[in-house]
């Protein structure tokens, strides 16, 4: 069975600084997808970034980028130029390649951006 | 606007009183699923549906029922709610093979 581990329950960063959230996963699969979701106080689940395991190039979306290390089963999220609106819970998630789109989530990291 | 709509957003009920949380999507997605979110546990899948009349259990199905009579709707039914079902519930949908999940806004359920 696949598992996702987020070892940082809480983190904080000053506005305009850079922060990295950690995520490791365990799987015997070779084809899979990894995601970071943001959950602000509104509770909405917002997709931040997605990585396909067969792609070696790290995904980027504006200020958000990942460091995907397939051999180490590590998938960290880097937020550059942090903004107050980045304050949220961040979830790392795994999805096996196949017919069912089942997401397996980590326990989340609560990020606080302060002025 | 493409969206997944859940209702209600908040629900307080008592033990044993049957309830239904509705979920509807307007994107013609084949795949729909329900998750519950609990502090320290992240989100866990309850049930999923690959298409109309095709449903299957996720990781935590006990105490829940679902149905998929129409492609757009996937209600979550709690026949006899108990306090351990107090949680934040999310409905999600996706078109198959794209691996892009759309989430509803969540339903906060409290069972007293």
* Residue A3, φ and ψ in degrees, nearest 5: -135, 155
Q: Which residue of B has its CA nearest to A38?
A: B103
Whole-angstrom CA distances from B10 to A17, B21, B35, B83 are 36, 10, 16, 15
* pLDDT, tens digit (0-9, with 9 covering 90-100), for B53-112: 999 999 999 999 999 999 999 999 999 999 999 999 999 999 876 778 899 999 999 999
Are A99 and A41 a contacting pair, CB within 8 Å?
no
Q: What is the pLDDT of residues A25-79, one digit of tens each?
A: 999 999 999 999 999 999 999 999 999 999 989 999 999 999 999 999 999 999 9
A55 in reach of chain B (CB within 8 A): no
The SS3 of residue B83 is helix
Helices (H) and strands (E) in chain A, counts: 0, 12
Does A94 contact B at CB distance below 8 Å? no
């Amino acid at each position: 069975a696949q598992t996702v581990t987020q070892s940082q329950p809480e983190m904080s960063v000053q506005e305009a600084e850079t922060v990295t959230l950690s995520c490791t996963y365990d799987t015997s699969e070779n084809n899979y997808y990894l995601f970071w979701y943001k959950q602000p106080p509104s509770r909405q689940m917002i997709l931040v970034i997605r990585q396909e395991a067969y792609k070696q190039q790290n995904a980027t979306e504006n200020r958000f980028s990942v460091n995907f290390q397939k051999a180490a089963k590590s998938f960290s999220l880097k937020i550059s130029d942090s903004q107050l609106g980045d304050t949220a819970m961040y979830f790392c998630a795994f999805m096996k390649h196949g017919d069912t789109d089942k997401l397996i989530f980590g326990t989340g990291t609560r990020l606080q951006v302060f002025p | 606007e493409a969206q997944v709509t859940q209702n209600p957003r908040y629900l307080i009920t008592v033990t044993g009183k049957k309830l239904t949380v509705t979920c509807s999507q307007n994107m013609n997605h084949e795949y729909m699923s329900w998750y519950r979110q609990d502090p320290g546990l992240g989100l866990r899948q309850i049930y999923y549906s690959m298409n109309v009349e095709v449903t299957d259990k996720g990781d935590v199905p006990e105490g829940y029922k679902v149905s998929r009579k129409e492609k757009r709707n996937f209600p979550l039914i709690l026949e006899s709610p108990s306090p351990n079902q107090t949680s934040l519930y999310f409905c999600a949908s996706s078109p198959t093979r794209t691996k892009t999940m759309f989430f509803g806004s969540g339903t906060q359920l409290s069972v007293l």
